Chain A
Amino acid sequence: MDFLSIILDILLSAAFWTAVLRIATPYVLGTLGELVCERAGVLNLGIEGIMTLGAMAGWMAVYQGADLWTGVLVAAACGALLGLLHAALTVPLGLSQHVTGIGVTLLGTSLSYFVYRLVLPQASTPPTIVPFQPLDLPGAFAQTPLTYLALALVGVVAYALYRTPVGLAVRMVGEHPAAAEAQGLNVTAIRIGAVMAGSALMGLAGAFLTLSAFNAFFFNMVNGRGWICIALVVFASWRPGKALLGALLFALFDALQLRLQQASGGVLPYQLFLMMPYLLSILALVLVARRASYPRALMIPYRKGER
């Protein structure tokens, strides 16, 4: 009874839903980015490193005097560049997407720390910037512009994938590259383009952390969010709308566990609550993903003239 009323109190507070949307934002962007890559047939395990680089580069640009939106663009461009590296190795050269992706993550992460230390060798407490401020809207709608951008991008990506020729081409090269080529499409170019676009979204996801959620760059601040996005893509059956749903669900669990930690007053070890969103995600994944139909050519390199 007591427990239920605590939950009810939490669910009825506007601050809780504000937090859910805020927590969900990087997952929405990252999952969309991964989804675009995978729809074109390329698994991008570089997401964790790309998000880290986006977080660092966006923040660094603003710290060096650029305005916030320029920082956002810098983060997206850096993401696209790492995406180009991943695509160059996995698409024309056909290297293992797993190994390359892990390499990109290691590179993106260490490059970010390296550049940060290079520019700020002495900083003991992380310097701060003035981040995006929440819009002056009531209740849970008081979000920063990047959250609204993420929500808008769900619609944009869904429209692009299902209603435009280029989206159909992306889905085709992820399903059956030989068929796409027989229809006169350039499989290599489309895959590279999709990976770059998806990686730019991952860069945005990182930038949200340093330009919106916080005001500084910390080491290890992406903290596995990229890996969660990989699972959310499967949960979403590679569909943008369901990706939003999955991200919101995960964020809801996360926001809930934070508040339950406080409400439990130290009776239970806080690690139990930390585990909750991950456990529930695994459960959701098991229930949903068994029926998922993945892009048929996912993780299969395409070489012209071979079948």
Chain B
Amino acid sequence: MSSPTTGGPEVVLRLAGISKRFGPLLANDAISLTLRAGEVLALLGENGAGKTTLMNILFGHYVADEGTIEAFGRPLPPGSPRAALAAGIGMVHQHFTLADNLSVLDNIAVGTESLWRLRSDRGGARRRLLDLSQRFGLAVRPDALVGDLSVGERQRVEILKALYRDARILILDEPTAVLTPQESAGLFDTLRRLTADGLAVVFISHKMNEVFAASDTVAVLRAGRLVATHPTASTDRAKLAELMVGRSVKPPAPAPLSPGEPVLELAGVTVASGHARPLLDAVDLTVRRHQVIGVAGVSGNGQSALAELVSGLIRPDAGQVSLKGSVVHHADPADMVRRGVARIPEDRHSAGLVGAMAVWENLIAERYRDPAFSRFGVLRRDAARAHARRVIEEFDVRCPGPDARTQLLSGGNMQKLILGRTLAYGPDLILASQPTRGLDIGAVSYVHSRLLDARAAGAGVLLISEDLDEILALADCVTVAYHGRLTPLLPHDRVSVSQLGLLMAGHWDILRDILPETPRENGNAA
């Protein structure tokens, strides 16, 4: 990797004074950036800082209100992905833009030939793809359907798609969000091979460790403005975090507490429900009071089934679920709420809140039949609104009032609303699925502190998260989900991120090194 100096390699991309407004929101405020050949630029910033907007302007998905873009010395016409592609700019979106039902080769070759040719040159396309794949060490199967590929393979297809079009500038939007730590390391190797070939790379991230692992230069965005551009080597984590948030951030520090009696016990729980592979496969798990249990894993390894099971949405096909020592038969969601389970659903928009309904209606959604909120089948609206005002106050929900429609709230305030709905009742067990996904650092630390407060107050917390930093910061013990099975509980101070990565990829043989001869608390063998 070369480090840019003033007289260094040619400038391939120059953004000057880019501004973009969405209604009242100034998403990009006069941003200027340069990128040189062979450089990896990390665009760091919180969610909503304007990183993706900026890159979407660069790639022509949006048109900037002000400012100009120059690629390889020539001005880039705004608002045209086709022009961006022609100028040598390729973009790998956070949500892959691949058609599942088409082959790898089709996805890559589409749009690269004149539409009115009478016959596609598939042989030539295949040779070119295999040649690129070999040159940059990006193994793919040209004829496989994209729908059958793993996430890491799909990302390789996306990168090849850009290279196939002779991209010399590659934009990667949150490329590691869906990868295991090992896959991320592989991606960074690829980036090094690309820059060695003279390509320039911009990658968007909100994860500090990636910035240090892969970039030459880091540009920090905050609230739409470019607040700093530094050579990565001359900065450090604390400084970048402060630049991102605008103030210093303290990591959460769980006080050591000794675990109390079990609140949730799963014994040999299997959820198969007609799938070829069980969603949960003979899972044992115990969550005790004063304890945060973190469930790590690549998404789709049974975490959703675990969350639905504990929420009462599905029932086990085998094994049993106990809450506070009593076995749960024929669970349903209302029953689980009555038994003291607080739920923070994975997707606050689809499963957490009803966007078109008012704040107060959402706040009593779990308990509207409670005599406090309804009598003789009629809602007590005043009592519900008063309750809403108390929650808004206590949980610092920024909203116009109890009658505001929920969809008008920001993600962080929606999450505070969900916390307020469940935590106000002093739950025994908190099921937190991806509780901070998509939130900015301020909201993340609020959610974390609330979860730790609940733990101190005697609740057990089952934290399902794809963010390993979050799990290691909060959890007392960690378990890794893989193909519907859970590892025994691993104390958080005895397991490293790279070990978790291996476990997430299914290399469970390393458990021997982490848990030498210790009695298994979860009794997987039993």
Binding site for B on A (CB under 8 A): 163-166, 168-169, 171-172, 175-176, 178-186, 293, 295-296, 304-305, 307
CB-based contact A184/B111 at 8 Å: yes
B95 adjacent to chain A (CB < 8 Å): yes
List residues of chain B with CB within 8 A of the CB of A184.
Answer: 81-82, 85-86, 111
Query: 0/1 per residue, B115-134, Cβ < 8 Å to A?
Result: 11111100000000000000
- Nearest CB on A from B113, distance (A): 4
CB-based contact B100/A296 at 8 Å: yes
B342 adjacent to chain A (CB < 8 Å): no
Known contacts A296-B99, A305-B62, A185 near B110 by CB under 8 Å: yes
CB-based contact B81/A169 at 8 Å: no
CB-based contact A175/B100 at 8 Å: yes
- Nearest CB on A from B102, distance (A): 6
Docked CA distance A165–B114 (Å): 7
Q: A165-B113, A184-B111, A296-B100 are in contact. List 10 more A-B contacts (CB 8 A).
A: A164-B117, A165-B114, A165-B116, A168-B102, A171-B102, A172-B102, A179-B107, A186-B82, A305-B62, A307-B95
Tell me the interface secondary structure of chain B in the complex: loop
List residues of chain A with CB within 8 A of the CB of B118.
Answer: 164
List residues of chain A with CB within 8 A of the CB of B389.
Answer: none
List residues of chain B with CB within 8 A of the CB of A168.
Answer: 102, 106, 109-110, 120
Partner of A176 from the list B61, B97, B114, B116 (CB cut-off 8 Å) is B97
Binding site for A on B (CB under 8 A): 56, 59, 61-62, 81-82, 85-86, 91, 93, 95, 97-102, 106-107, 109-120, 161
Most buried by B among A168, A178, A296, A307: A168
List residues of chain B with CB within 8 A of the CB of A304.
Answer: 61
List residues of chain B with CB within 8 A of the CB of A181.
Answer: 81
Docked CA distance A164–B113 (Å): 9
Docked CA distance A181–B98 (Å): 11
Docked CA distance A63–B117 (Å): 39
Partner of B91 from the list A163, A172, A182, A296 (CB cut-off 8 Å) is A182
Docked CA distance A164–B120 (Å): 5
Docked CA distance A84–B82 (Å): 25
CB-based contact A166/B115 at 8 Å: yes
List residues of chain A with CB within 8 A of the CB of B91.
Answer: 182
Can you list 26 pairs linking A and B with CB atoms under 8 Å apart? Answer: A163-B119, A164-B117, A165-B110, A165-B113, A165-B114, A165-B115, A166-B115, A166-B116, A168-B109, A171-B102, A171-B106, A172-B110, A175-B99, A176-B97, A178-B93, A179-B99, A179-B107, A181-B81, A182-B93, A183-B85, A183-B110, A183-B112, A183-B161, A184-B81, A185-B111, A304-B61
Docked CA distance A155–B17 (Å): 54
CB-based contact A175/B115 at 8 Å: no
CB-based contact B111/A169 at 8 Å: yes
Most buried by A among B56, B97, B113: B97
List residues of chain A with CB within 8 A of the CB of B95.
Answer: 307
Partner of B61 from the list A163, A175, A305 (CB cut-off 8 Å) is A305
Known contacts A164-B120, A165-B117, A305-B61, A172 near B85 by CB under 8 Å: no
Name the residue of chain A whose CB is nearest to the CB of B82.
Answer: A184
- Nearest CB on A from B177, distance (A): 15
Known contacts A165-B117, A165-B120, A176 near B111 by CB under 8 Å: no
Most buried by A among B91, B95, B106: B106
- Nearest CB on A from B520, distance (A): 44
Docked CA distance A110–B112 (Å): 44
List residues of chain B with CB within 8 A of the CB of A293.
Answer: 101
CB-based contact A182/B81 at 8 Å: yes
Name the residue of chain A whose CB is nearest to the CB of B62.
Answer: A305
Most buried by A among B61, B91, B106, B111: B111
- Nearest CB on B from A38, distance (A): 13
Docked CA distance A243–B106 (Å): 23
List residues of chain B with CB within 8 A of the CB of A295.
Answer: 101
Name the residue of chain B whose CB is nearest to the CB of A176.
Answer: B99
CB-based contact B97/A179 at 8 Å: yes
List residues of chain A with CB within 8 A of the CB of B111.
Answer: 165, 169, 172, 180, 183-185
Docked CA distance A181–B62 (Å): 13
CB-based contact B119/A164 at 8 Å: yes
List the 5 closest pairs (A to B, CB-CB), nearest first.
Answer: A175-B99, A179-B97, A183-B111, A184-B82, A176-B99
- Nearest CB on A from B446, distance (A): 28
CB-based contact A296/B113 at 8 Å: no
List residues of chain B with CB within 8 A of the CB of A165.
Answer: 110-111, 113-117, 120
Partner of B101 from the list A166, A175, A183 (CB cut-off 8 Å) is A175
Docked CA distance A304–B110 (Å): 19
- Nearest CB on A from B147, distance (A): 9
Docked CA distance A144–B161 (Å): 48
Most buried by B among A164, A293, A295: A164
